[in-house]
Structure 1
């Protein structure tokens, strides 16, 4: 199963990106995870830039979404809300066919952020008929470096939790 993991953070040392990289490393032979960590490179959404004027980085994101069997999205919370970069990425995809029936799940790298997560569930449930709000992966990783996150998520218990999550998501993708 081919998954696209989208980090909603533009920060170089992002906790969410580090968690998604750990998911990449933990994926067994049945799953491939490609990481999109270029949220900060996307221009501000404008319908005037759709079609032939589509920026290359947006085309790359849309192509990666199209090639994936499912999306795993992980995003920080800013001011109890979806960060602008993450919402911008969704705005770029919402009028395109790639997202409409794409299986999507959330992963989260913090013990807080429930307001943002609730907003993400509303938005993703609106843009995709295959958003699964019940399948969710959460780790408490705030204030850890990317190296510490990699170490923590390579521990046997964390690896088992990640693999169960990926297997369940693969079944969800296959059922659609």
Structure 2
């Protein structure tokens, strides 16, 4: 299965991005997980820019979504809400067909952030008919450097949890 793992953070040393990179490694070879951490490159959404020729970074993002079988999104919360960059990326997809039937699941790299997750669940269930509320994976990784996150997720129990999550997501996506 080809999965696009979208990091909701624009920070270079993002906890969520590091978690998704570890998930991508654990998923091989059964799942090809590509991590997208380029939200900062997307211009601010405007319906005026939704023309036959999308801005290049947006077109590349849309193409990535189209080329993958499913999406996993992992995001921090900012002021108890969805980060602006992630909401902007979703706004670019609202009137497009690529997201409507795309299987989507959530991961989270913190023990907190439930307000943002609730908001994100509402948004994703609005834009995709295949958002899976029941598939959710959370690891308390806040303030850990990327190399420690890598090590933590490769521990046998966590590795097994990630593998089971990916297998469950693949099964959901195949339905």
- The alpha-carbon deviation at position 52 of structure 1 amounts to 3.0
1:130 to 2:135 alignment: no
Please give the residue correspondences for 1:44-83 in structure 2 after superposition, counting only pairs within 5 Å.
Answer: 44-83=44-83
In structure 2, the partner of 1:87 is: 87
How many positions carry a matched residue from both structures?
Answer: 175
**TM-score normalised to structure 2 length:** 0.98
CA contact (8 A) 1:16 1:108 kept: yes
Q: Structure 1: which 5+ runs fail to align?
A: none
In structure 1, the partner of 2:27 is: 27
Find the aligned partners of 2:70 and 2:34 in 1 and give their Cα distance: 11
Secondary structure of 2:76's aligned partner:
coil
- The alpha-carbon deviation at position 30 of structure 1 amounts to 1.6
Q: Structure 2: which 5+ runs fail to align?
A: none
CA contact (8 A) 1:7 1:37 kept: yes
CA contact (8 A) 1:103 1:130 kept: yes
Secondary structure of 1:11's aligned partner:
coil
- The alpha-carbon deviation at position 48 of structure 1 amounts to 1.1
Find the aligned partners of 2:153 and 2:45 in 1 and give their Cα distance: 34
Find the aligned partners of 2:131 and 2:52 in 1 and give their Cα distance: 29
**TM-score normalised to structure 1 length:** 0.98
Find the aligned partners of 2:78 and 2:109 in 1 and give their Cα distance: 14
1:112 to 2:112 alignment: yes
Find the aligned partners of 1:46 and 1:174 in 2 and give their Cα distance: 34
